[in-house]
Amino acid sequence: MPHILIVEDEAAIADTLVFALQGEGFETTWLSLGAAALEHQKSTPADLIILDVGLPDISGFETCKNLRRFSDVPVIFLTARDGEIDRIVGLEIGADDYVVKPFSPREVAARVRAILKRVAPAPVPRPAGELGAALFQVDSDRVQINYRGKPLNLTRHEFRLLNCLLEQPERVFSREQLLDALGVASDAGYERSIDSHIKSVRAKLRLVRAEAEPIQTHRGLGYSYSPGHS
């Protein structure tokens, strides 16, 4: 049974989430502080974290940044703010979804189910190197990509993004198509966050080979993987 960690300092909001999620068959734990959530995730890892942005000790954004240093657990942010900058920042630091208060607890439960389904391991792992890109080896079971024999330290979003490009060399993917590969709705206003993820992936590739440019930019169109530039 999936375990959901709720990090929310308002008891009334936490109670509605606990009730809705337990009604859907999830196991829940409720904490009110970011620091406590980090310690809990280290000792008793949850399958997904619902994280309030406005916590009394450290912000949800800062909590998520610290969390990403040791865990790739899916995160849904709860916030009273609905600014585009806030949403983009949330995605860029590793969130999977962003819910604005007031919200429907049943909608949050539905988003939890969708995210857990999306991040579930594939039933048949693809052997490394199946993509046919000699310089890249993809291990879907471990969520790992090696480049020129060296493992890349990728976030989950970065893994999906690079994997999507590697699967179809030379195909130009639009930002909307790459958002779809990440499991993010293209109408959510996150298109520019793709540019940040691409920039991060490129930086990690250059740590292995400084002159390599395997990810090509097509102005006004999107991005592609070009084996000839690897």
Encode pLDDT of 52-85 as tens digits.
998 999 999 999 999 988 988 999 998 887 666 6
Among candidate residues 187, 170, 182, the one with its CA nearest the CA of residue 229: 170
Measured CA to CA, the distance from residue 170 to residue 222 in angstroms comes to 12
The domain of 108 spans 3-119
193-206 helix and 156-167 helix, angle to the nearest 10 degrees: 80
60-67 helix and 84-92 helix, angle to the nearest 10 degrees: 20
Give a yes or no: residue 130 inside a domain.
Answer: no
Give a yes or no: residue 179 inside a domain.
Answer: yes
Q: Which residue has the tokens 């995730």?
A: 41
152 with 111, same domain: the answer is no
Q: Is the peptide bond before 102 cis (omega within 30 degrees of 0)?
A: yes
Instruction: Give the three-class secondary structure for 136.
Output: strand
74 with 162, same domain: the answer is no
The per-residue pLDDT of the chain, averaged, comes to 84
Give a yes or no: residue 182 inside a domain.
Answer: yes
User: CA neighbours within 13 Å on the CB side: how many for 170?
Assistant: 2
Give a yes or no: residue 21 inside a domain.
Answer: yes
- Measured in residues, the chain has a length of 230
Rounded to two decimals, what is the model's pTM? 0.56
Measured CA to CA, the distance from residue 79 to residue 89 in angstroms comes to 13
Among 90, 119, 148, identify where a domain stops. Answer: 119
Count of other CB atoms within 10 angstroms of residue 142: 12
Inform me whether the pLDDT recorded for 126 exceeds 60: no
115 with 82, same domain: the answer is yes
Measured CA to CA, the distance from residue 190 to residue 150 in angstroms comes to 30
Give a yes or no: residue 128 inside a domain.
Answer: no
164 with 91, same domain: the answer is no
Retrieve residue 209's tokens: 């080979």
Inform me whether the pLDDT recorded for 192 exceeds 80: no
Give a yes or no: residue 224 inside a domain.
Answer: yes
Report the run of H or E that residue 87 belongs to, with start and end.
Answer: helix 84-92
Inform me whether the pLDDT recorded for 112 exceeds 90: yes
111 with 213, same domain: the answer is no
91 with 16, same domain: the answer is yes
Give a yes or no: residue 83 inside a domain.
Answer: yes
Measured CA to CA, the distance from residue 62 to residue 38 in angstroms comes to 11
Structurally, the chain folds into a number of domains equal to: 2
User: What number is the average pLDDT over the span 119-139?
Assistant: 59
Q: State residue 171's pLDDT score.
A: 87
Give a yes or no: residue 124 inside a domain.
Answer: no
What CATH number should be reported for the domain holding residue 170?
1.10.10.10
18 with 114, same domain: the answer is yes
